[in-house]
Structure 1
Amino acid sequence: MRIRSRACRIVAGLATLSVLTTACAAGETRGTGEITVITTTEILADLVASIGGDRVEVSSLVPAGGDPHSYEPSPADAARVAEADVAFTNHLLLEEQALIKTVDVNLPSGALNVSLAEVSETYGAHVIPLVENIALDVLWLGLRVRGTGEEHGATRTSEIGMTAVDMTGPGDLFVYLTQALGSPDVYFGSADGFDDADRTTLPPAAHTHVNWAFTEPGEYELTLAADLDNGDGDPRPLGEGTFRFAVGVDPHTIARDGQRILDAGHTDVTVDLDTGELYAFVDAEVGTDQEVVPAVDVVIDVPNRALEEIPDDARFTFLGEAGKQVFQLPQAVLGKHVHGEIDPHLWQDVRNAKAYVQLMLDTLIEADPEGAQRYETAAGAYLAELDELHAYVGDRLATIPPERRQLITTHDAFGYLAEAYDMTVAGFVVPNPAQEPSVEQVSRLTETIRNLEVPAVFMEPNLVQRADVLTQVAHDQGVEVCTIYGDAFDENTTDYVSMMRHNADELVRCLGDGR
């Protein structure tokens, strides 16, 4: 029988809203059983199938070999979600928000909607922060949303708006994002005054990179207003904050008593969903705890070394005449790059995959109590297999000499593997595979490979079309290009256990000393 109850519940305490967009094919369906399960990725679908067997019909929205960071769902995906009894997403902003909205909006009332990464800590999973070290010689200033906003009805499909409402200063200010192919998307621009178009949005718990460009030296003040849109067409005002900038002048000459000068490291202009405040969220040194500093207490330094020429490119005429210099705090990472504070790739530590399986087991039993014994038996056998897998990966990687345990990959997806099995993430082309690498990133990658004298770098099969830079740098440095699986399978590796065994064996083959 098919289970169809009413009154939607989301296990992670998250509700539903919004819509969908366009795209590709459906993931493979496994089983023909009593309940229908939709997952966002192939890896999650494989874990479900290992517990559910023929009693569960499971498929992935992201198709075989697809990238969950960039996959845009189709109307056909929405129709599949509408037939599901259970949905498993990874989230922690692994998936595009459009994919999350498709799940949350179209899942039938009464179906179970589980955001695995958020809940898995209660099942013993270990999460690690997503640490970004861009090593700029000026402040790296982004935009961020913090807090849950539960009292305002916020959900993971909500949108938090930031709108520029006022600015004073000797020149113009532009906050813009450079897309992967170099096209700028202006969020705020003061040249013609501010209106409703001077606005950008982020999902909850998200962070993004942007450029901050100023046309003249001097003191600037920018006021931003934040609002919360829960999809009902009536955004709720949250608060305002005014931020001061010292552009091309000594920040000490304009800082008031008690104000903090921000001139290095990583800072985000941040909206707090719980308090409505806008403040600076400061990480002065990579690896240290970030701290909240009220907007009125900061002066943001945009020094003379931040001067850059306006490109001779019609797309950048909003900044002024080509060749003229502007003061710019750079975006640091080319392309749209929205992520959270926690690394979402938990499954690269097999113990975290066990936590996912235990959470999935409880969810399947709740959805289909009659199948409880079969699920428990299958889960017990699979968890034992994962114990063996964890030991296998650890034993294999322990054979790599310590000085050669350096991971250089296509994108930043292997922090959990490194921490769990005593490896080091030495470098990657870009943090997110949806981005194009900058000249600085390519230069840094080349220097890392040369300095560490690594024998190999690692490419993900589903990102082979975006691995030209890694392949070329490896060729130039005379090192091998090997294969490692991150977010997706391919025709050669179609299940999680095989994927992790392959990763361990390939790391040993390419980094080991012949053992």
Structure 2
Amino acid sequence: MTSNPHRIARAAVGAVLALTAVLAASSCSAPALSSDPADDGELRVATTTGILADLVRNVAGDRATVTQMVPDGADPHSWEPSLRTIRDVAYADVAFSNYLLLEEHAIIRALDANLPPTATSVSVAEEAAKEGATILPLIEDRSLDTVWLGMRVLGTGSQYGADRASTIDLIATGVDGPGDAASYLTTSFGAPDIGFASSDGFDPASGYADDTSVLPADAHQHMSWAFTAPGVYRIPFEARLRAREGDRPVVLDGATAVFAVGVAPDEVAAAEGRRILSAGHADITVDLERGGVALAVDEGALAPAPGGGPDDEERSSKRDAPLAPGMEVVDLDDVVIDVPTRTLTQIPGAPGFRFLGAPGSDAYVLPQAVLGKHVHGEIDPHLWHDAHNAAAYVRVIRDALIAADPDGADDYRRNAAAYAALLDEVDAEVAATIATIPPERRRLVTTNDAYGYLANAYGLDVAGFVAPNPGVEPSVADRIRLAATLDDLDIPAVFLEPNLARTRSTLRTTAQEAGVRVCPLYGDTLDATAPTYVDMMRFNAQSLARCLGGHDPEEE
């Protein structure tokens, strides 16, 4: 049986958690610091990201040692924690995470499992809302002309004792159909991360470990769904909640997804009284509020059941209030998902896609709508792209440091005030620089959805994403459509994060063939070119102005 990347990642995290328990218990199990960190009197602060670390250093000054779990240049959405970073957590007095489901869940689990019980843990973005930060819903591109089907967890599971470190398993236990089926996500670097695949069978003895997708509570992720032959497929799903590491899992009710692949779904719908889903956003969903597997779907996206009337009324009464904005929750067993003939494509040649079949052979693919391993919730977690929100982060950090180290209160207040004044200057600089862009050119086209706060704060319009179909290699037709879109909107440039730009050669080529510049824009991480938050904000404003027809006011 082929290895499942999800299983490998979970095993790695389990090893980290187990080994770091030993590290935390004995200071002699790792290279010694200059003194015993547990009683040397030094304030130690652990952060998840480099951006948070930079903000903390500006407030803490020389009163604290600040470390970060995710190295500069790495993506916090997908980074896996290391033993070295976990050791820093084990000796921390205060920990700052962004959360709102920004960080890879393994980071949050490792942080919560290894932080000393006397330490303080702060989810900065969530606390910043109480300090005047602007909070925006996560707006995603829904321009695919087929169903955009992902996986979701609805609810927090608090009635089961779940918290942010808990995990929910969504398990495919088999595939009944004329060919093989699989679900996977395409990561930021183009490699597939398998949810389930029928090509290597299903192993109940292992608890279907190789065919299990793991999500945190109240989250969802984008997926691609592939089928190797036309016909009707039935895929049963089970679910279980693991409130805490080592606890007996809570088993939830299962359900079966039915797909009409390359064939009209009408016959299945009529024979089984199902409604047809052929467009819009939907997620195979673990509904923790009602205790089972269901389907979350855009309101109004489902066609009426054959005959309509009481069947639809009965179904809607089963699941009354929607738990996700703009979506309704319905019984998965009452829906047939349309995978039309136009989804037919060729399996990529990269070795990682062998679980789908031979390179170049045909497969029907419902693509994920957003490239990358991107587990998130309903709130956009990238608050820092608005400098006013960064100032709210600073107030949260200041208060947490004062609580942990009251003797340093005056220093923390003074440092926070000075840095807040700098952020006000940066906010004005960014606004002035972006204001030099002609209004009709203030359209932002990127490869992900991380820039809603930047657009909202500084008068930009998020016009869309570069990738026309990130689940597979863009075809000639895809590139033609993209070129037409960019031409219609008169888009002079698209923007890629510097840490990803070199790896997205297909997207770069597509934009260049459309006669559009490819320019850098920082999102979740810093690097040597932009080593601080202030540097990042200034760089982004200047890059936007330079590439969209504006200029730097300081050059006048």
Unaligned 5+ segments in structure 1 are 1-16, 23-31
| 1:271-420 → structure 2 map (5 Å cutoff) | 271-283=286-298, 289-308=326-345, 327-333=364-370, 336-409=373-446, 411-420=448-457
Q: Return the match for 2:63 from 36, 52, 55.
A: 55
Total equivalences in the alignment: 487
Conserved 8 A contact 1:19-1:102: no
Q: Within 2, Cα distance between the matches of 1:75 and 1:174?
A: 36
- Shift in CA distance, 278/382, structure 1 to aligned 2, threshold 3 Å: same
The Cα of 1:345 is off from its aligned counterpart by 1.3
Q: Return the match for 2:222 from 193, 204, 209.
A: 209
| 1:117-128 → structure 2 map (5 Å cutoff) | 117-128=125-136
> Percent identity among equivalent residues?
48
- Shift in CA distance, 429/492, structure 1 to aligned 2, threshold 3 Å: same
Residue 108 of structure 2 corresponds to residue 100 of structure 1: yes
* Residues 419-452 of structure 1: CA deviation (Å, up to 9, x unaligned): 2211022344469xxx887315766654444333
Q: Within 2, Cα distance between the matches of 1:411 and 1:170?
A: 34
- Shift in CA distance, 187/421, structure 1 to aligned 2, threshold 3 Å: same
Conserved 8 A contact 1:265-1:285: no
Q: Within 2, Cα distance between the matches of 1:148 and 1:211?
A: 25
Conserved 8 A contact 2:174-2:198: no
Q: Return the match for 1:463 from 500, 503, 508.
A: 500
* Residues 42-89 of structure 1: CA deviation (Å, up to 9, x unaligned): 211111122221222212222233332333222111111111111111
Q: Given the two structures, how large is their TM-score scaled by the length of structure 1?
A: 0.82
Structure 2 letter corresponding to 1:243: A
The Cα of 1:288 is off from its aligned counterpart by 7.7
- Shift in CA distance, 288/449, structure 1 to aligned 2, threshold 3 Å: farther
Q: Within 1, Cα distance between the matches of 2:530 and 2:360?
A: 51
| 1:433-472 → structure 2 map (5 Å cutoff) | 438-439=473-474, 445-469=482-506, 471-472=508-509
Conserved 8 A contact 2:142-2:369: yes
- Shift in CA distance, 330/349, structure 1 to aligned 2, threshold 3 Å: same
Q: Within 1, Cα distance between the matches of 2:68 and 2:354?
A: 44
Q: Within 1, Cα distance between the matches of 2:349 and 2:544?
A: 44
- Shift in CA distance, 494/317, structure 1 to aligned 2, threshold 3 Å: closer
Structure 2 letter corresponding to 1:175: A
Conserved 8 A contact 2:227-2:363: yes
Q: Given the two structures, how large is their TM-score scaled by the length of structure 2?
A: 0.76
Residue 248 of structure 2 corresponds to residue 222 of structure 1: no
Q: Within 2, Cα distance between the matches of 1:383 and 1:508?
A: 25
Residue 125 of structure 2 corresponds to residue 82 of structure 1: no
SS at structure 2 position matched to 1:58 = strand
Q: Within 2, Cα distance between the matches of 1:193 and 1:375?
A: 56
* Residues 98-147 of structure 1: CA deviation (Å, up to 9, x unaligned): 22222112211111111222332222222323333253322122111121
Q: Within 1, Cα distance between the matches of 2:263 and 2:356?
A: 20
Conserved 8 A contact 1:408-1:428: yes
Structure 2 letter corresponding to 1:124: G
Conserved 8 A contact 1:211-1:328: yes
Query: Which range is displaced more, 363-372 or 473-482?
Result: 473-482
The Cα of 1:151 is off from its aligned counterpart by 1.9
Task: Give the equivalent residue in structure 2 for 1:238.
Answer: 252
Unaligned 5+ segments in structure 2 are 1-12, 20-39, 302-323
Conserved 8 A contact 1:396-1:504: yes
Task: Give the equivalent residue in structure 1 for 2:170.
Answer: 162
Structure 1 letter corresponding to 2:95: A
Structure 2 letter corresponding to 1:303: P
Query: Which range is displaced more, 180-189 or 490-499?
Result: 180-189
- Shift in CA distance, 395/98, structure 1 to aligned 2, threshold 3 Å: same
